[in-house]
Amino acid sequence: MRIDVQNVTKKFGSKIALNDISFSLEEPKIYGLLGRNGAGKTTFMDILAGYQLPSHGTVHINGETTFDNRNNLQHICLIKEANNFFKDVTVKQVLKSYRLFYPHWDQELAMSLINAYQLPMKSRMKSLSKGMASALGVVVGLASRASITVFDEPYIGMDAAARKKFYDILMEEYEAYPRTIIFSTHLIDEVSLLFEEVLIIRDGTLILQEKAEKLREHTYAVTGEVTEVKKFICNKQVMKTKQLANVMTAYVYGEKQTTKEGDLTFEGIPIQDVMIYLTENQKEVS
């Protein structure tokens, strides 16, 4: 399903959460939606899922809006970091209601995940730990097999082993049933290898949309003697530098030709570092 975002602005009183953003997403692909707290990511995901209306602009899925549109809503599953389910319902009731709503729901997968995460079917949401509540959100997001599945910090309280299990099953499901997956997280280093395309939002504005592979190929660290590094980075887009004695490392955006050039060495840098640079320094890569 194609997502078209056109000139979307969202205001809450005098605060502008989204400021005239436009972009398109095409399936099947795993997108990383990145940015600092308060950047506007959650507001966009709420609009996409039909929870809110934009103040201006449109979000269309296959040419139709999502707000109050059951035909589109049954193909979108948004799992947020908390409060996905009513506190007084049981795990069993959550699965039943979502099973009725999503036409491609996989009950066998849901029960397999329930067992894997050891979730008590008869327990009410208010009695679950934060990690168990997050695990149930992961179960619903994966088992929904919604054409557009959105995870907004879905694993608060889940330990490293539980998160790894989620990533592994996510990739298995994506390979078997390709769909659009939008992933918003602050654990970028942990999941960045899953991303096929990256979007970065800063202060409500989209500042980057790039294929993850290209972003990895065009962001690198160059290390060597200070004068040699300075000579190399002249006229290049430098994200940051650090120096220890007479050795300097510069983080650069641009096409790297080799893994070694003279006395200089090159290595890739994490997408998380690119995001931090862009959102801290009010700059864009080009």
Between CA 146 and CA 149 the distance in angstroms is 6
Domain boundaries, position 277? 218-281
286 residues of the chain, pLDDT tens digit each: 899 999 999 999 999 999 999 999 998 999 999 999 899 999 999 999 999 999 999 999 999 888 878 788 899 999 999 899 999 999 999 999 999 999 999 999 999 999 999 999 999 999 999 999 999 999 999 999 999 999 999 888 899 999 999 999 999 999 999 999 999 988 888 888 899 999 999 999 999 999 998 888 888 999 999 999 999 999 888 888 999 999 999 999 877 666 667 789 888 888 888 888 777 765 555 5
Between CA 164 and CA 193 the distance in angstroms is 13
> Are 39 and 138 in the same domain?
yes
**151 in a domain, yes or no?**
yes
Q: How many domains does the chain have?
A: 2
- DSSP conformational letter for 143: H
Between CA 237 and CA 222 the distance in angstroms is 12
Between CA 62 and CA 87 the distance in angstroms is 34
Nearest Cα to 215, choosing from 277, 126, 150, 154? 277
Displacement of CA 99 from its chain's centroid (Å): 25
> Are 140 and 183 in the same domain?
yes
> Are 94 and 123 in the same domain?
yes
**286 in a domain, yes or no?**
no
